[in-house]
Structure formats: structure tokens, C-alpha cells
Amino acid sequence: MSDEIQEIESKVGPPTVQCPNCDSMLPHELGEITCSVCSAVSRIEHKPTRESWMDEKVSCPNCPKILRVGVDERPCALRCSSCATVFKVTEKVIKVEVSCPSCERQLRIRPRPGKRSLSCPACSESFHVTF
């Protein structure tokens, strides 16, 4: 038996919020969030996200059972009521679309706060985006 905990990605993510101090994008989390650019601490709450997290249904990685998560934070641990498997429901991986300034192709990337350099797979143009 492996003791590795299986993970399921949540389908619900918090909204994008900006740091009130420096306007950088904050990590997609709720609660007390520290801005990675200016270190200001903000308290971010979003009730609809908490409610959707509470009501989210996930399927057990080990059996066909569909479970209601019933926990209003991510990541969280869950135990299947049918096969007793314990697994983890992780945060949703947020992706945003940016368009290449040269050929306008849409690139889907994981935003990280601050400045990022990208290179377009279609036309090899290098450019910067700031979140």
C-alpha cells in the first residue's frame, strides 16, 4: 500500500484581487494574504467562493462515490464515506489568457504576481506582462 495522498484539484477558485497598496495581483487565496511584491497584508474574503467550496462535489479517486466536500477552505483533506480513502482537495490552478503583442495569439499562463517575461510559441516574440 502506498502512503501517498492522492490529490484532486478544486474546480472553484477565488476571484482575482489586486493589492490595495501596490496594485499587483495577489495570490488566489482567501484569508490573510501577503503581497509578494510589497509585503502588505490584506484580508480577502469572498463568501460565494466559500459557499461553492462548501458545496463542491468531487469524485473519490478510488471508487465511484461522489462526495460533497463540506469544507470551506482549500486545500483540505477529505475521507470517502464509502471506501475510507483519505485524499486532498487542492486549490484550483488559475490560468489567464494574454495575447501576444506581435501575432495576437492567445497564451494561457499561470499568473504570478509581479513582472513576467514570456515568449510566444507561435512567433517567438518575447514580451513582458505584469500582474
Binding site for Zn ion (CB under 5 A): 19, 21-22, 24, 35, 37-38, 40, 60, 62-63, 65, 80, 82-83, 85, 100, 102-103, 105, 120, 122-123, 125
Residue 28 one-letter amino acid: H
Which CB atom, from 53 or from 87, has the smaller least distance to Zn ion?
87
In angstroms, give the least distance from the CB of 62 to Zn ion.
5
Q: Residues near 74 by Cβ (< 8 Å), separated by ≥ 6?
A: 10, 12, 53, 89, 90, 91, 92
Which CB atom, from 90 or from 99, has the smaller least distance to Zn ion?
99
Which CB atom, from 36 or from 52, has the smaller least distance to Zn ion?
36
Number of CB atoms found within 10 A of residue 71's CB: 15
Name the residue among 91, 112, 111 with its Cα closest to residue 30. 91
In angstroms, give the least distance from the CB of 78 to Zn ion.
10
Q: Residues near 67 by Cβ (< 8 Å), separated by ≥ 6?
A: 57, 58, 59, 60, 78, 80, 81
In angstroms, give the least distance from the CB of 10 to Zn ion.
18
Which CB atom, from 61 or from 75, has the smaller least distance to Zn ion?
61
In angstroms, give the least distance from the CB of 92 to Zn ion.
22
